[in-house]
Every structure is written in C-alpha cells, then in structure tokens.
Amino acid sequence: MTTRQRVLDLLRGPVAGRIRFTFPFFAGTVTISAVSFRHVANAIERGAVRLDVTNTFPAGVAGEYVSGTPNVLRIKPIIGREEEGLVLHECTHAIFDLTHTRVNANDDEAASYVVDALYFRMTGLRRARWSGEPHATAGAVADALLREYQAGNRPIPAIDATTWTTLKQRIALHPVYIAGPAGIIGGLFGPTEYPHDG
C-alpha cells in the first residue's frame, strides 16, 4: 500500500471517525470530527494537499503542514501507530487551513496535540512512547474526552476549559514553539496565526 493510500485510509478510518470535540476560540467554537478528517482526505485526492514523505525535520519536529500552492503535508514514513497519530496531528493543521478557520497558532497546536493523544489512547499506544510535553498534557485532555465519550451525554463533547488552558500554556512555553506564532515570545513579536488561506 502506498503512503498516500495509507493516509487516506487513516483519515477515513474508524479511529479518526471516533475523534470528536469542540474548543473555544475568539470567534466562537470550533468542532473537530470525522467530517473534518474526510475534508482533508478529499483535499489530498483532488491535489489541494500534496504529501511529502521525509525524515528531514528540525530538532523536536516530527512533521509539518505547510500552507501554500499546493499545500504540503510533510510526514515521516508510516511505520506504526505513533507515526499515524502524528499524521493526524498534521492533518488537524490542514483542517484549519482548508476551512479558513482563523484560530490562533496556539489553539491550532493544542487541537492537533489533542487529536494525536486521542489516537494514541484509542489505539493503545503505551504512554511511555508519547510521554514528553506537550503530549503528556494533551493526554490528560484526551483522557477527559474519552470519559465523556463513554458517558455518552453529548455527541460531541467540549474540552474542559481548565485542561485546555493548561495545554495551551505548555505549548506556549515549549522550546519548539516559544519563539514562533504558537509561543509566548513569538506571539508577542510576530504573527499569532499560521496561514489559513486554503
């Protein structure tokens, strides 16, 4: 199976199909659901998002989504669940770009970490393999969402405001993000959003 087909299968698969949550942002509420991931799959199929499989990333980076013409999803070769979760992380960035959802970069990253943590939890990937920050804090958010899924009170649960704020703070202070749009320093002196031009 080609990497492209594997990514498409992942985006349309049963685990991504169960990932669902909302979170607040300055203009209201954002929803991530199976529809979001199918939107990215459709964009890949029509050529609006191109895949670039590589092992060449800056230190501490495991993948990238680059908005442009065309948009590029840069991912590592998919070996197992860890890489699959990281593909979904990058595809979450693509969701915001393709739908022109103007979340700030900190929210963008936080939602992406929640997605990969949910995938890791739902597929039984041992926490020791994703225990570094901000993954660990995203894992606590994912645990709370999974409890909501099990309770079945709401079809699409909202992320708890306190754990959401904690995750966003961890990202803002993380060395990979601190000087960029998602970080505390970068947000003060530069753009606070990733491009969302579709």
pLDDT in tens, 132-186: 999 999 999 999 999 999 999 899 999 999 999 999 999 999 999 999 999 999 8
Tell me how far apart the alpha carbons of residues 120 and 116 are, in angstroms, rounded to a whole number: 6
Structural contact between residues 110 and 171, judged by C-beta atoms closer than 8 angstroms: yes
Q: Please report where in the chains the tokens 């029509």 appear, as a residue.
A: 46
- Paired strand residues for 21: 32
pLDDT in tens, 62-121: 899 999 888 999 999 999 999 999 999 999 999 999 999 999 999 999 999 999 999 999
What is the reported pTM? 0.96
Looking at residue 128, what is its pLDDT?
94
